[in-house]
């Protein structure tokens, strides 16, 4: 063999070794990162998620604390090094409470921004407007809205963090049974949330020997005069022992004030879990005292015993939020806290893979949040049980445990 031929062979062998080594190195990407296993695909440099909240419009009391909560958490997690060393980026869309804008925002986040998952929307009707889209596009959604129809029937790609309507209705009706309340009126906002609330109350009432003797919806644009007219009808309807007001609208403050003006002190006022904002109490003033409602424990975090497994988390979130933004924490911001932290937990497991994230959420067990301790399954995309709710009341214009 000539010296020249020997040199060519040595060079060829060296090139083969280098190529083989490059192939090995190219396959060593972090587990769970989308595209890392395909040759030529760039490494993930950020985890991009979407959020759709009603930051402006009539439901801004929902979306504003949700937006602020997510921004605060993104800042915290990135300051601590991101998720598995990779920063997270949240693209937040404002749907102004309008369903058409929700659809447009979801399409933009999925198609243009190519987000891994979406948190929100804030409202039940807006969530229902994109529920099917999320399944069709195979993008995980963790809603911050409450209606049970969001997760029943189950869409494999859709989850939610607020407690189920049926649990809330059961807590209210159970209290009524224990206190011999049998004849009630149901007033509800003519929205997806209000309609679902009426449905649950009417469906479950017979099991608790409660009769819905009066029911009527009011429009989102209802005036104080409209509410006074409605309550006058209730007062004339006969032996009404209690009113259930199921809405997220500002009328939650108007109803107790008008009941006081109409001298309806003999009728107990129950609110839904949509009452979880101290602003409603302040707007109603002393008329809010005595209102009863089920909600998560965030509103009374400081009053919980130290042995409560949620207390430390609740107090920490409340203190951090109020220190950063100056306003009061609400259960609505808490829903976004839960949605975000659940999504982060799933990304830790699955990386930048939508299917993997969906699967990881469905397999989360015993995960503490502001709304309760979450355990998801194939059949349960809410992850909370009825014990996640506490019966609360208003005393001295402050939220308090009904039975301290």
Asked whether the beta carbons of 50 and 114 are under 8 A apart, the reply is no
pLDDT tens per residue, range 180-228? 999 999 999 999 899 999 999 999 999 999 999 999 999 999 999 999 9
> Where are the domains positioned within the chain?
47-163+310-386, 165-295
The reply to whether 165-295 shares the fold of 47-163+310-386 is yes
Kindly report the number of other CB atoms within 10 A of residue 6's CB atom.
10
Q: What's the CATH class of domain 47-163+310-386?
A: alpha beta
User: Lowest-pLDDT range, 35-44, 143-152, 332-341, 375-384?
Assistant: 35-44
User: Lowest-pLDDT range, 13-27, 39-53, 347-361?
Assistant: 13-27
Res 238: pLDDT: 84
Percent of the chain at pLDDT exceeding 90? 84
Question: What is d(CA 174, CA 349) in angstroms, rounded to the nearest whole number?
Answer: 40
Is residue 113 pLDDT above 70, yes or no? yes
Entry pTM: 0.86
Res 42: pLDDT: 65
Is residue 89 pLDDT above 80, yes or no? yes
Res 58: pLDDT: 87
Is residue 30 pLDDT above 70, yes or no? no
Is residue 17 pLDDT above 50, yes or no? no
Q: What's the CATH class of domain 165-295?
A: alpha beta
Who wins on pLDDT, 20 or 163?
Answer: 163
Res 248: pLDDT: 87
Is residue 28 pLDDT above 70, yes or no? no
Average pLDDT, integer, range 95-104: 97
Question: What is d(CA 404, CA 397) in angstroms, rounded to the nearest whole number?
Answer: 16
Is residue 243 pLDDT above 90, yes or no? yes
Determine how β-strand 158-160 pairs with β-strand 141-143: parallel
């Amino acid at each position: 063999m000539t010296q020249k031929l020997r040199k060519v062979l040595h060079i060829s062998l060296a090139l083969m070794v280098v190529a083989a080594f490059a192939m090995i190195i190219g396959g060593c990407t972090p587990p769970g990162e989308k595209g890392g296993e395909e040759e030529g695909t760039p490494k993930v440099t950020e985890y991009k998620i979407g959020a759709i909240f009603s930051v402006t419009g009539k439901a801004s009391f929902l979306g504003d604390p949700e937006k602020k909560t997510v921004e605060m958490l993104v800042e915290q997690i990135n300051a601590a090094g991101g998720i598995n060393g990779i920063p997270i980026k949240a693209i937040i869309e404002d749907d102004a409470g309008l369903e058409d804008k929700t659809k447009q925002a979801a399409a933009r986040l999925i198609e243009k921004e190519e987000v891994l998952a979406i948190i929100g929307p804030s409202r039940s009707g807006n969530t229902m407007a994109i529920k099917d889209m999320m399944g069709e596009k195979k993008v995980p959604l963790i809603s911050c809205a409450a209606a049970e129809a969001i997760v029943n029937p189950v869409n494999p790609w859709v989850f939610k963090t607020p407690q189920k309507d049926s649990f809330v209705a059961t807590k209210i009706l159970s209290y009524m049974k224990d206190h011999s309340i049998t004849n009630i009126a149901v007033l509800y906002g003519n929205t997806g949330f209000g309609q679902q609330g009426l449905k649950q109350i009417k469906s479950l009432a017979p099991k608790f020997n409660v009769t819905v003797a009066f029911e009527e919806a009011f429009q989102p644009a209802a005036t104080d005069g409209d509410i006074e007219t409605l309550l006058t009808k209730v007062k004339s309807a006969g032996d009404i022992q209690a009113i259930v007001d199921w809405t997220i609208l500002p009328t939650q403050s108007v109803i107790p004030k008008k009941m006081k003006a109409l001298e309806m002190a003999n009728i107990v006022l129950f609110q839904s879990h949509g009452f979880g904002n101290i602003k409603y109490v302040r707007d109603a003033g002393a008329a809010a005292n005595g209102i009863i409602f089920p909600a998560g424990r965030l509103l009374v975090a400081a009053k919980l015993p130290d042995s409560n497994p949620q207390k430390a988390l609740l107090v920490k979130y409340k203190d951090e939020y109020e220190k950063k933004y100056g306003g009061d924490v609400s259960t609505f911001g808490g829903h976004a806290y839960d949605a975000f932290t659940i999504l982060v937990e799933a990304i830790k497991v699955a990386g930048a893979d939508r299917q993997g994230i969906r699967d990881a959420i469905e397999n989360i067990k015993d995960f503490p949040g502001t709304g309760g301790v979450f355990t998801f399954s194939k059949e349960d995309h809410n992850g909370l049980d009825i014990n996640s709710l506490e019966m609360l009341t208003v005393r001295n214009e402050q939220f308090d445990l009904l039975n301290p």
